[in-house]
Chains A and B, each alone.
Chain A
Amino acid sequence: VSEEEPSTSGSGTEGGGNEQESINLRLNAGLSGEDANTAAFTTPWMETVEEETSGQVTFDAFFNQELVPLGEEIRALQDGTIDLAAPVLPTYNPDQFPLSDVPMLPLKSSDSIIAAKAYADLIRSDVELADGKTFADFEFGEHGMKALPVQPVSQYTIGAVGGHEFSDAASLQNLSLRTGGRAHEIFVQELGSGSVSMPWSEEFEALSRGALDGNVRSVVDYKPYGFDELITTSITGLAIGHFPLVWLMPEDKWNELPEDVQTIMEDEAYALAESTVKQELFDQALIDAEEAGIELVAVADLEQGAQDLLEEASTNTWQAWIDAKESEGLPGLETAKLWRDLVIEHGGEVHDPILELE
C-alpha cells in the first residue's frame, strides 16, 4: 500500500528508503479539499509536479487544518511538521505578514485572472519597497520562506439577506456586514455601515437568523459556505479587492531540492496564474447564484449617489490602509502603488483618486 519502505521503528519521511530518487513531501492546505482554491491551484499543481517529475516527487496532502491550524503554518514549516504549505492565508496573521492584505484593497474593476497575474508579478517583483527589500523579502524572506504565487480569490462584493434592496447610497449604509480582514473593515465603515467579525461557522447562523444583514465576500464563496441559501441580493461588477493566498516552503528545504524539480514547481505555480479555472468557477458561481434566486444588481445600475459613495469609500480605504502601514514604519505607500500599477498593467481599473497616489 505504502510507496516508501515502511520501517517499523519509524524513520522520517525524507531520506528514508531510496535516497535521491523519491521525494515525498507533506503538503498542508489550510482550506477544504473541496474549495475552489484547491481545485484551481493545489490539486493541479500537485498533479503536474508529480507528473512532470515522473513520480520522483510525491505529496501527502492534508486539507482543512487537519494537521496545521490556520495561522500556524510558518511555525509548522519552520519546525518541519510540514514541508510546504499551499496555500497559506497570509491575512490571517497580519502580525507576520503585515503588507499581504494589499490585494484586499477595493478596485474599480478586476477579475480572477487580472488579480492572479498581478499577484504573481507582486511575488516575483524586484521593486525595492524600502531598505533594498522587495515585497517577497518583506513578507516571506523575513521568515526564511520561499514564496510562489497562488491565484487570489475572485473579487469580493457585498451581499445581503432578508430581501434587502441595493439602490441608493442609503441602501449601502447602516448594514451590519461580516468582514474578513482589516481593509474590508475600513471599507465597510467608510460606507457608513457596521463591520462585524466572526468565524464562518457563526456567520452562517448569524445570516440565517438575520443577526447580520450581509457580508463582504466573493460570490464563489456563497455555495461552499451555504450562503447561497441565505443571501437574497448581491452587487455585481464590484471588486472589493481579492483575498490573497500564497505558497510557502522553507528556503533551506527549497534549496535542497534538485534544480529541475525547483524549476518544475516554480514554472507550474506561475503558469497557473494564467489558469482560467477560477474565472470559470466565478462565472459558474454567478449562474448558480441566480438559479438560487439571488438578485444580482450591477453596480452600474445603482443610483449615482451609491456609486459615488462606493468610490469615495474605496479611495478612503486606500488612504487609511497606507496611513496605518506607514505609521507602523512599513512601506505602505510604495506597496500600494506597486499593487495598483500591477493591477492596471494586467487590465484592472482603480478609482481615479488612487491613480494620483504619489
Chain B
Amino acid sequence: MILSQRYLSAYKVFQKIKWLGMLLSGITIFFMMFYTSADVLIRNINGTSPLHAYEISQYYFMPLAVFPALAYTFGEGMMPRIEFVITKAKSLVIQRIAAISLIVIEIVLMLLLAVFGWQYLMHAFGSGMAFTAGGTNYPLSLVILFVPLGFFLVVIEMIFLLVKNIKGKQPSFVVIEKHEVTDV
C-alpha cells in the first residue's frame, strides 16, 4: 500500500474512537435486555411498570444503540450496495472515478445529516425537548447529541476512504481490507 505511516496511525486512533462508539451502543443494547426483562418481571409481580421500559427504550436506548455505532458500521463495510460498474467496468480509471464520486456524494450527504442533526440538537436544547414517563420529564438533548456526532464520525470515515481512493490504484470501500487487519 502507498498509504503513509501518518495516515495509518491517524486511522488507528480513529478506529479506537469508532470502537468506543460500538461499545457504547452494544452495552446499551445489553443493558436494554436486562432493563426490559426487569420491567416484565415487575409488571408480572405487581401490575405496574415503574421502570418505564417502553419510554426509556424508545427515547434513550434505541438512539444510543444506533448513532454512536454508525461510523463503526460504515467502517466495517456493512452498508449494502449493488456492486456493478465499479467491479465490472473494464477501465480501472472509470472504476476509480466512480468510486471517488460516490464517496464524495456520501460525504456531502452525511455532512448534511450532521449539520441538520446539529440544528435539531440546538432546537432540542433551546426548547427543553423532553419525553414524559410517570409524570417525570426526561430531557432529550443528551441523546440527540449522538445524532450529529454519529454522522460526523461517518464523514471522517469517508474522508479517510476518499484519501485512500485518491492515493491508491484500486477502488475500495473499506479503509482496512478484512484480510489486512483483524481486530483493533
Contacts of B49 in A (CB 8 A): 194-197
Contacts of A202 in B (CB 8 A): 54
Determine how close the nearest CB of chain B comes to the CB of A353; give it in whole angstroms. Answer: 22
> Which residues of chain A from 87 to 107 have any CB-CB distance to chain B below 8 Å in the complex?
94-96
Is B102 an interface residue when CB atoms closer than 8 A count as contact? no
Is B167 an interface residue when CB atoms closer than 8 A count as contact? no
Contacts of A174 in B (CB 8 A): 47
Q: Which residue of A lies closest to B133 (CB)?
A: A197
Give which listed residue, A95, A176, A193, contacts B43 with CB less than 8 A: A176
Contacts of B131 in A (CB 8 A): 95
Does B52 contact A197, Cβ atoms closer than 8 Å?
yes
Q: Which residue of A lies closest to B123 (CB)?
A: A75
Tally the A-B contacts, defined by beta carbons under 8 Å: 45
> Which residues of chain B from 121 to 164 have any CB-CB distance to chain A below 8 Å in the complex?
123, 127-135, 137
State A189–B47 Cα separation when bound (angstroms): 11
Is A300 an interface residue when CB atoms closer than 8 A count as contact? no
Does B47 contact A175, Cβ atoms closer than 8 Å?
yes
Is B48 an interface residue when CB atoms closer than 8 A count as contact? yes
Give which listed residue, A186, A193, A197, contacts B47 with CB less than 8 A: A193
- The 0/1 profile, CB within 8 Å of B marked 1, for residues 52-64 of chain A is 0000000000000
Q: How many interface residues does B have (CB within 8 Å)?
A: 19
> Which residues of chain A from 160 to 179 have any CB-CB distance to chain B below 8 Å in the complex?
174-176
State A176–B40 Cα separation when bound (angstroms): 12
State A194–B43 Cα separation when bound (angstroms): 8
Is B182 an interface residue when CB atoms closer than 8 A count as contact? no
Q: How many interface residues does A have (CB within 8 Å)?
A: 22
Does A194 contact B129, Cβ atoms closer than 8 Å?
no
Does A182 contact B47, Cβ atoms closer than 8 Å?
no
- The 0/1 profile, CB within 8 Å of A marked 1, for residues 42-59 of chain B is 010011110010110000
Contacts of B127 in A (CB 8 A): 95-96
Give which listed residue, A176, A182, A195, A199, contacts B132 with CB less than 8 A: A182
Question: Known contacts A194-B43, A202-B54; is A95 also within 8 Å of B137 by CB?
Answer: yes
Does A194 contact B47, Cβ atoms closer than 8 Å?
yes
Q: Which residue of A lies closest to B128 (CB)?
A: A95
Does B130 contact A194, Cβ atoms closer than 8 Å?
no
Is A139 an interface residue when CB atoms closer than 8 A count as contact? no
Question: Known contacts A95-B137, A176-B43, A202-B54; is A196 also within 8 Å of B48 by CB?
Answer: yes
Does B135 contact A324, Cβ atoms closer than 8 Å?
yes
Does A95 contact B129, Cβ atoms closer than 8 Å?
yes
State A189–B48 Cα separation when bound (angstroms): 9
State A293–B80 Cα separation when bound (angstroms): 51
Determine how close the nearest CB of chain B comes to the CB of A203; give it in whole angstroms. Answer: 10
Q: Which residue of A lies closest to B45 (CB)?
A: A194
Determine how close the nearest CB of chain B comes to the CB of A308; give it in whole angstroms. Answer: 22
Contacts of B129 in A (CB 8 A): 95
Does B130 contact A182, Cβ atoms closer than 8 Å?
no
Determine how close the nearest CB of chain A comes to the CB of B144; give it in whole angstroms. Answer: 13
> Which residues of chain B from 44 to 88 have any CB-CB distance to chain A below 8 Å in the complex?
46-49, 52, 54-55
Does B135 contact A197, Cβ atoms closer than 8 Å?
no
Question: Known contacts A75-B123, A198-B54; is A95 also within 8 Å of B47 by CB?
Answer: no
Task: Using CB atoms and an 8 Å cutoff, list the residues of chain B in contact with chain A.
Answer: 43, 46-49, 52, 54-55, 123, 127-135, 137
Task: Using CB atoms and an 8 Å cutoff, list the residues of chain A in contact with chain B.
Answer: 75, 94-96, 174-176, 182, 185-186, 189, 193-199, 202, 211, 213, 324
- Show 9 residue pairs from A and B whose CB-CB distance is below 8 angstroms, ordered by the A residue: A95-B130, A95-B137, A176-B48, A182-B135, A185-B134, A185-B135, A194-B47, A195-B48, A199-B54
